[in-house]
Structure 1
Amino acid sequence: MRRTPRARRHRTPTVAALTLALTAAVAAQPAWAEPGTLTEVRAELQRLYREAAVATDKYNAADEKVTAQEKRVGTLRTQVREAEGKLSRLTGRAGAAARSQYRSGTGASLPVEVQFVLADDPERALDNATLARQAQQGTLGVITALTETGEELRARSGEAAEVLGRLKTNRTARDTERKKIEQRIDAAERLEASLAAEQLRALDDLDTREANAAQDAWVDTGVLDTVGTTTTAAGKRAVEYAARQLGKPYIWGAEGPGGYDCSGLTSQAWLAAGVTIPRTSQQQWQGLTRVPVGSMRPGDLIIYYADASHVALYIGDGQMINAPRPGRTVSIAPAGSMPILGVVRPGA
């Protein structure tokens, strides 16, 4: 859900005041350690935002499973209805044929031997009787098969519905977890809104210095000497799509067009390129082809942190496009500014 930015107060709270405010905001959380400096306040804010990202990714994954299972249940129920309809029509036709045969007195129901003796053309009578019996047996076989198929489909539909129920329960649990994280992020946002302009600039400076230091260390490894500078037509379209989203807000669970979360941006960028990829950063890490960081090219996805909780689209020249976190917008940033877990390549 997108939040309306809160007005900032024009005062300069002390670090002690910041500590008290943030401590009160998350007092119910046992993992909390009181920050004593602006650097520690920033670290705690980063931790809260990352926890929110992880919780959101888990919810998105659970929601995706529910959607897929709902589709499967719907398909099975449609197949059950179709099988039952075919069975009803075939049974009705078989019954009508038998009644017609009985009323007409054609003798087709007589034993083959009797038809052979009474017929003017015994050979033809034998052929007709054999064909009639084969048709009856074939019809009965189809009815039996349809009956068994219907029973199997009903059983599978029931099992699928049970799985759907469990998935919905899991999604509800994930949603509850996410809401708890959202409450903590609300507290963090209130704290940020209470900072004076110079303190916000100081926090931004800390972010910039840390990102630049990480990027410099990454570049110093020589990685940019080996990475690709060209990409496929699909990769180019994915990068172009992401570039058009620059400036749009980060919105939890969003896949555009008004805003995105990190994996919502990457999955939609590649969908625009004609390639469907998993929805969350963890699923993208697990399900897509992995390539060495030194072999990545524009359009590849960079997965960050040991828990694969963030993802960005590499655009070349050591830069990436990502949806960073709540309160930020889709932007270009140094590719090495966060701990890189690995690189995956859609469509490989």
Structure 2
Amino acid sequence: MIPMVNLKAQYAEIKDEVEQGLAETIANCSFILGPNVHAFEQECADYLGVKHAIGVASGTDALHLALIAEGIGPGDEVITTAFTFIATAEAIRYVGAKPVFVDIDPKTFNISPEAIEQAITPNTKAVMPVHLFGQPADMARITAICAQHNLKLIEDCCQSFGASIGGRQTGAIGDAGGYSFFPSKNLGAYGDGGLVVTNSDAAAETIKMLRNHGSKVRYYHDIIGYNSRLDEMQAVILRAKLKRIDRYNGARRRAAHRYSELMADLPLTTPFEDGIGEHVYHQYTLLCDRRDEVMKALQENRIASAIYYPVPLHRQNVFKDECAGVSLPNTERVAATCLSLPICSELDDQTIEKIAGVIRGVLKG
């Protein structure tokens, strides 16, 4: 079976380093907000070019706590995309705000700056773009819109660790950024984990309290907080992978470009790179009108594939009543034809050629 992500092969390379680090952590009995968490936070801050990086329990929590720290709450509207994982909208709901879904660029699948401008109302307080599948959103235009309308800008970087725009990392451009370390991510843990980044001292202080039961000093609580701390053992694993993230992302880009070369003449649309930033291919997602046939052939050849995302958020049961009159044609068209193929830093040319060959057999057969 060819999986979507080959975590076993990746583990084989870092096994000794990870197991030594885990053994030392167990021997030292420092499990919560220990030395590896603090070291990882500093290493991330240095890599991402931000003042503060704060480890939390998940990418969802990262977005949630960032919204709270930036003052978003009940009655506020946050403009975002409907073509993303539900965590983006869940985090907005958690703080009592309303997610306002707008359409995407049909080529990049990222939120449309024009659609953002058209959706701004007196209740709009923030914009949350998603750097979907690892391709940076058009942050120059989005930043300008937010500045013009005095809106907070919170980046959903859960799929874009290591992606950059003009030498600046995603997450380092807005008021805050949230990352996920779900195992399949470009920088993935062996469980859940997340990170919030910001250049604001005040926001960082609030997030540190929020993740730790509203406390700066043990057993003294200034605000109602949460239990959302990055695990020390996950930090060991993430530190080992962070050293290699540029190589991992480079290998993903090479694999993606090879796919696109092999399928350039087929009746499908390969991923588009707009050149605004460097795509790190958390997913390799193409568009194909004969998606079901292709998926069936891949399955018959023991090759994994996935649809990210089959039902956009404005059509999900949890939002469909309030979004009854919302029409997002680009989002709906992409959701109906998108298909993601296996992609990871360990994917070799022979495997890529096999996958592309199966697809060619369907579309050219």
**Is the structural similarity TM-score above 0.5?**
no
Larger % of helix: which? Answer: 1
**Larger of the two Rg values belongs to structure:** 1
Larger % of strand: which? Answer: 2
Short-chain TM bin: under 0.3
TM-score normalized by the length of structure 2 = 0.27
